Chains A and B, each alone.
Chain A
Amino acid sequence: MATKKATKTPSTQSSPVFDYAPAPESRAIVDIKPSYGLFINGEFVDGGGTSFKTISPATEEVLAEIAEADEADIDTAVKAARRAHTRVWGRMPGKERAKYLYRIARIMQERGREIAVLESIDNGKPIKESRDVDVPVAAAHFFYYAGWADKLEYSGYGTRSLGVAAQVIPWNFPLLMLAWKIAPALAAGNTVVLKPAETTPLTALLFAEICQQADLPPGVVNIVTGAGDTGRFLVGHDDVDKVAFTGSTDVGRAIAKAVAGTNKKVTLELGGKAANIVFDDAPIDQAVEGIVNGIFFNQGHVCCAGSRLLVQESIADEVLERLKRRMATLRVGDPLDKNTDVGAINSAEQLARIKELSAIGEEEGAGRWSPPCDLPSTGFWFPPTLFTGVTQAHRIAREEIFGPVLSVLTFRTPAEAVEKANNTPYGLSAGVWTDKGSRILWMANQLRAGVVWANTFNKFDPTSPFGGYKESGYGREGGRHGLEGYLKAEVN
């Protein structure tokens, strides 16, 4: 994502010189239907479960009624995917599969503005993020993996598809996570049944329309909506060959148990509690931007968020002062306003979790601070917040909050920074800020995390493998490595 520029860096005080006039993106480009069915075998069909509503987290307005897939629907979807794999997609030459994926990438670009607006309405994220990150990076994933479809023999992972992939994705980057899942699966010749999160189904259903526009053969992509039960039916279905999940470590653990004793291949991208480590020789202004981007990007609903700031003791006061000043300039509010930096919390449930853990942070003795911040009266909101005086024993230093809440800890030596950074069951990402090259490389070696951002943070790219160590899950998404979870060798 683009690093936020300090558009107005007040040198001495935190109150802005100018107010921003509202700059809302038009909703007119989006046509939300009153109700949506399941997308199975190339068509929208009714679901057998109890339909549910998806709302705008910024206004609590009901957006649409969504079908719930029950066990029979899942079976129908898996059968459609199996049929499509056996008869069409699994035997189609890679160069032809590639052309469908290129088509999809192009349509996503063509309809980019529409998708971005819909994503911000359904998810609550700022339009400048959905417009500049989610949608273009999602399209780039399809473009990237399209090119692999006819080059699998060079991947090092074999050329045979697995079959039917069951994919379950979270609500924080609904379309982007869909792209991370579907693009490599299809490129490798698998067919998919994907379940989007129950609070953010709309862009996945729009993606189903894109598949229709691309004339993708029926059954290659199936989208089933619903909540936990729907996901369990899908993951537990006997005829899926692959399970890919992004979400919480608790659910990931349950999935790892559920697939035990089967032949299903599994990749899990789970929680994190990343340390963002700032040394005394770091370029402070850049580091502050990186800290803000690390934890307030996407309201902190990011598994790789830099939720633990480890700052060297000698510069802690200065960094905190500049960080607070910068936080005071963050604009929280209407996701569709192009000037908004921090949007709505995705759901009432998530807001309750953020509030609960923040209250625990205070009870355990950490110092809580938020800038003055007017929050809208309807919808789900939480101000950018930081906690000082946090110790490693505090729950806010150990548990994933998945919100705009930063825990600040200090360290004196590089060894202490490494020890604190690695003192977590998670291992998804980490950040290092220092001007000293040898120290960056030493730190990068020591950190037990799948992605290390040095003098940057929260960068994503289709060519760059992403995924965790330890309880942050296993398998990689992105790059050549991202094909491993969807291929098998010629003989085994």
Chain B
Amino acid sequence: MARIDVRKTYKLYIGGAFPRSESGYSYVVNDAKGKFMANASLASRKDARDAVQAARKAFPGWAARTAYNRAQIVYRIAEVMEDRRPQFVDAVQRSEGRTAAQANKVVDDAIDRLVWYAGWADKITQVVGGANPVAGPFFNLSTPEPTGVVAVFAPQESSLLGLVSVVAPAIVVGNTVVVTSSYERPLPAVTFAEVLATSDVPGGVINVLTGSAATTGPWLASHMDVNAIDLTGVAGDADLAKSLEEASAENLKRVRRAPSAEPDWSLDPGIDRMTGVLETKTVWHPVGI
């Protein structure tokens, strides 16, 4: 008789732990062909708030890490993903309905993107900051600093490469993140969270919620302890994007608007996903003897 396999429970990832949804709700996740894959936790308002709390708690320590250290940790995520390639290829293949060759390419790109962003940790400051030649006897220097807690809505279609492409730029420059995964394709996000848990990423730096942006969105957009919001995953739903942007105005969150359609994640990402969650601080000091 064939062995009965042991199935995995797909849970949320908050503050370095894997809780089920506080609400007790889950939802059915099917593969691209409509066949049952798993039940995923359906993140609730309370889960979103718990995740923000965890992200806020982790922020000072993560922002204070040296850029070199953040680079090493993001590179470590890539290493561990590479080590678990088959699992990601399988997850992408089933979730996104791709061929094995296509799924392999997606995983390649996701790992390479992490490596690319890892290298930015200790370079972005020199690229976007600098000395300002003011007309007076002053030392004057502008440097970028992380804006704080960023609520990210991950793309709906690209469940792994898209996810990595929106999360990595926010954390590599020192922010902490609450990411809501693709609703229909949440399983790669949970597997990614399991990689994070074993990659020296401190608990709370990346918090992963599975479920619907329409559910978690209003609570994250109106949360007064969230500093920035990335609506990429709301692409195509102009009404929801607008209402989340309006709610975000309450504490002047930095808003990255939803594109009209999901971007092509295989393209060169540029640096604006990092600069959009950076603040510029300018320090003056007199020069004299």
Contacts and interface: CB of A to CB of B under 8 A. Distances in A.
Interface stretch (B30-38, B105-113, B238-246): B238-246
Contact of B283 (A444, A461, A472, A474): A444
6 contacts: A425-B251, A444-B281, A449-B281, A453-B283, A455-B285, A480-B130
Contacts of A449: 281
A252 B252 CA distance: 8
Nearest to A444: B283
A450 B280 contact: yes
B280 A476 contact: yes
Contacts of B142: 464-465, 479, 481
A471 interface: yes
B140 A464 contact: yes
B252 A474 contact: yes
A463 B282 contact: no
Given A455-B286, A467-B280, A474-B254, A257 B246 contact: yes
Contact of A459 (B127, B248, B284): B284
B284 A453 contact: yes
B281 A450 contact: yes
B282 to A, nearest CB: 5
B249 A256 contact: yes
A476 B281 CA distance: 10
Contacts of A156: 127-128
A249 interface: yes
Interface stretch (B46-54, B79-87, B131-139, B156-164): B131-139
A470 B281 contact: no
A361 interface: no
Nearest to A484: B275
A461 B249 contact: no
Interface in A104-149: 140
Interface of A: 140, 156, 249, 252-254, 256-257, 260-261, 263, 268, 270, 425, 440, 444, 449-456, 459, 461, 463-467, 469-474, 476, 479-481, 489
Nearest to B285: A454
B227 interface: yes
Interface in B241-283: 241-243, 245-246, 248-252, 254-255, 257, 270, 279-283
A450 B279 contact: yes
B147 A469 contact: yes
A253 B135 contact: no
A492 B28 CA distance: 36
B261 to A, nearest CB: 13
A257 B222 CA distance: 12
Contact of B252 (A268, A452, A463): A268
B280 A481 contact: yes
Nearest to A459: B284
A444 B283 CA distance: 7
A260 B244 CA distance: 8
Given A253-B252, A456-B285, A461-B136, 12 more contacts: A140-B135, A261-B242, A268-B252, A451-B281, A452-B281, A452-B283, A454-B284, A463-B135, A467-B280, A474-B254, A481-B142, A489-B270
Contact of B282 (A261, A455, A465): A465
A455 B139 CA distance: 11
Contacts of A450: 279-282
Nearest to A136: B135
Interface string B160-182: 00000000000000000000000
B281 A461 contact: no
A29 B200 CA distance: 69
B138 A473 contact: no
Contact of A463 (B134, B257, B285): B134
What are the 8 tightest A-B residue pairs by CB atom distance, in nearest-first order?
A261-B242, A256-B249, A260-B245, A461-B134, A260-B246, A257-B249, A454-B285, A463-B132
B282 A466 contact: yes
B272 to A, nearest CB: 8
Given A156-B128, A261-B242, A268-B252, A456 B284 contact: yes
B116 to A, nearest CB: 18
Among A253, A440, A444, A489, chain B packs the most CB atoms within 10 A around the CB of A444
Contacts of A256: 245, 248-249, 252, 255
A254 to B, nearest CB: 8
Contacts of A455: 285-286
A464 B132 contact: yes
Given A444-B283, A453-B284, A459-B138, A479 B132 contact: yes
Contacts of B147: 469
Given A260-B246, A451-B281, A456 B138 contact: yes
Contacts of A463: 132-135, 140
Nearest to A265: B257
A136 to B, nearest CB: 9
B198 to A, nearest CB: 31
Contacts of B252: 249, 252-253, 256, 268, 270, 470-474
A253 B283 contact: no
